[in-house]
Amino acid sequence: MNVPEEFKYTKEHEWLKAEEGLATIGITDYAQSELGDIVFVELPQVGDAVSQGEPFGTIEAVKTVADLFSPVSGEVSELNPKIEEDPAVMNKDPYGEGWMMKIKMSEASQADSLLSPTDYRALIEKTE
Amino acid sequence: MSIEAGLRKTPFYDIHIKLGAKMVPFAGFIMPLQYRSIIEEHRRVRTSVGIFDLTHMGEFEISGPESLDFVQKMTTNDVKRLEVMQIQYTTMCYEDGGIVDDFLVYRLQDKYVLVVNAANIEKDFSHLQDHLPRRGVELKDSSYETALLAIQGPRAEEVFARMTEYDLSTLPFYWSAYAELCGERILFSRTGYTGEDGFELYLPNGLAPKFWEKAMEAGREFGVEPIGLGARDSLRLEMKYALYGNDIDRTTTPLEAGLGWIVKLDTADFFGKEALLKQKREGISRKLVAFQLKERGIPRQHCRILRDGKQIGEVTSGMFSPSLEIGIGLGYVPAEFSKIGESLEIDIRGKKVPAEIVKPPFWKKGSHK
């Protein structure tokens, strides 16, 4: 399972990349593989507030549905328009074109407390 | 992997693993859920051809001089109408009209073969055994000696024609035949659970992997792909084919499930006939309907079905239809609200999504003949 080195991770199988107070988030390769074909994603609107650990949306896949939990607190600043057009992009390229949204972080230090790639790899190996 | 403990492997197991299938436990077997993508596998069957491992299905052989009367008594369809090698879809009911199982009955030269749901093998067998007459009928469970491979899709005949000398154009839907395949005499039928043309091949376990390879080879130019249980479920739901355990069970009758066409109340006696006659006379109070969502959403099993804000039923099967690209489902609603065009709402995780009862099947362009 692909776990790139440049991201932080959550127990809920999301990844985060922080750059100058702005966090880009998505779901991991493991998550997309477990979910199977993603049919659509319910995301908040730009400007909505999200809180660390709280649900902010859902992913509907053919066989199942999953809640999305915010890795950090802040304000939604951008949504990936590709996900609305072709949600399967999250299956095909979860760390690249399949990113979900960007959050203007209210506490940048929250990003540091997330799982490292090594910790996340250990987590999914334990689950498998 | 721990989930494999105590689960049966089909003779195709090593092939599934080699292909990287996502394996899941299903009715005591470890089966492929998907190889690549449920949606893509589904579309491959609708537009071309796919092959399925259906070895989990159970097979019972019923022979002896009294076998016709016995099968007639145990099932709701009219077995007497079957000619040799013909097949019939039927239900087996309890005295109260509840369904024990739904299955296919093959009338072969010297016996009847029932092809039953994997999850019901033991229950069906003991139900049949309990009603076996003292003499004249022999009942045998050959489930674990038989592998089942299905070739399904509009190109299925072209693929299978490359594997056999048999003139498939002469074989109508719901008929079976024997063919020479790789030097073996094999029972096969023109049947399926997808809405497309297709064949089901009953194979001795030992030869099964070889036939899989042959079918893949024969189908290469048509882009044949292996198809998992995920797409099998979406393909059958688009046809409104009932799934035992979801849409039908011991608490539902075939009349409520829209299976009246396989309940022949004017023929010989069968278990459940009195109850079903009474239900028919009095009118059914609820009915299994097919609905599709009018807005984005995916109905799932056990979602509440609402009308004017009040619950009137529950979703028995629901999913995203890969062909229609919309949420579709089945569920029982009171007969007075079961008309085509009736407006409903489906409670999807607290969100009320408008839906409409539609005339089944959802997929109307199936290639089955």
ipTM of the complex: 0.87
Comparing alpha-carbon positions, the chain B residue that sits nearest to A126 is B1
On whether any CB of chain B is under 8 Å from the CB of A126, the answer is no
pLDDT in tens, A83-113: 999 999 999 999 999 999 999 999 989 999 9
Contact B39 A40 (CB under 8 A): no
> What is the average per-residue pLDDT within A79-86?
95
> Domains in chain A, please, with CATH?
8-127 (2.40.50.100)
Q: What is the mean pLDDT of chain A?
A: 95
Q: Name every chain B residue with its beta carbon within 8 A of the beta carbon of A63.
A: 33, 38, 230, 319
Q: Kindly state the average pLDDT of the residues B328-355.
A: 97
Q: Cβ–Cβ of A62/B22 closer than 8 Å?
A: no
A:B CB pairs within 8 Å: 34
Which of B297, B320, B349 lies at the smallest CB-CB distance from A62?
A: B320
CB contact under 8 A, B38 and A65: no
Q: Average pLDDT over chain B, rounded to whole?
A: 96
Q: First-to-last CA distance in chain B?
A: 42
B276 Cβ contact list (under 8 Å, min separation 6): B76, B93, B97, B253, B254, B255, B263, B265
Beta carbons of A62 and B297 less than 8 Å apart = no
Domain ranges across chain B: 13-54+144-238, 285-369
Q: In whole angstroms, give the CA distance from residue B128 to residue B269.
A: 16
Write out chain A residues lying below 8 Å of B298, CB-based.
Answer: 39, 60, 65
Query: Average pLDDT of B122-151?
Result: 97
Gap between the Cα atoms of B45 and B365, Å rounded: 12
The Cα of A11 is separated from the nearest Cα of chain B by a number of Å equal to 22
Pair of tokens at residue A101: 């949204």
pLDDT band of residue B4 (cuts 50, 70, 90) is low
Domains B13-54+144-238 and B285-369 share a fold: no
Residue A62 contacts B, CB cutoff 8 Å: yes
B320: chain A residues, CB-CB within 8 Å: 39, 60, 62
Which of A30, A34, A35, A37 has the most B C-beta neighbours within 10 Å, making it the best mutation to test the interface with B?
Answer: A37
Chain B touched by A86 (CB under 8 Å): no
How many residues in total does chain A contain?
128
**DSSP reduced 3-state for A99:** coil
Q: Which two tokens stand for residue B144?
A: 């674990």
Check residue B369 and give its pLDDT: 61
Average pLDDT of span B170-185: 93
Model pLDDT for residues B56-110, shown as the tens digit of each residue: 999 999 999 999 999 999 999 999 999 999 999 999 999 999 999 999 999 999 9
Confidence category of residue B183, pLDDT binned at 50, 70, 90: confident
Domain B285-369: CATH superfamily is Aminomethyltransferase beta-barrel domains (2.40.30.110)
Q: Are the beta carbons of A37 and B349 separated by less than 8 Å?
A: no
Within 8 A by CB and 6+ apart from B256, the residues are B279, B284, B286, B287, B288, B332
Q: Which two tokens stand for residue A58?
A: 């859902």
Distance CA A110, CA A113 (A): 5
**A127 falls in which pLDDT band (50, 70, 90)?**
confident
> Does A63 touch chain B if contact means CB atoms closer than 8 Å?
yes
> H/E/C letters for each residue in A35-57?
HCCEEEEECCCCCCEECCCCEEE
- In the prediction, which pLDDT does B2 show? 41
How near does any CA of chain B get to the CA of A37, in Å? 6
pLDDT tens-digit map of B106-118: 999 999 999 999 9
pLDDT at B304 over 70: yes
Nearest chain A residue to B234, by CA: A62
Taking an 8 Å cut-off on Cβ atoms, the answer to whether A36 and B319 are in contact is: no
pLDDT of B18 > 60? The answer is: yes
Selected residue of A30, A63, A68, A85 to mutate for chain B interface (largest B Cβ count, 10 A): A63
Q: Mean per-residue pLDDT for B128-136?
A: 97
**A35 has a pLDDT exceeding 70:** yes
B53, B113 Cβ separation under 8 angstroms: no
The shortest CB-CB distance from A65 to any of B37, B234, B298 is to B298
Give percent of chain B above pLDDT 90.
95
pLDDT for the residue B1: 36
Would the CB atoms of A62 and B234 count as touching at under 8 Å? yes
CATH 2.40.50.140 fits B13-54+144-238, yes or no: no
For B324-344, what is the mean pLDDT? 97
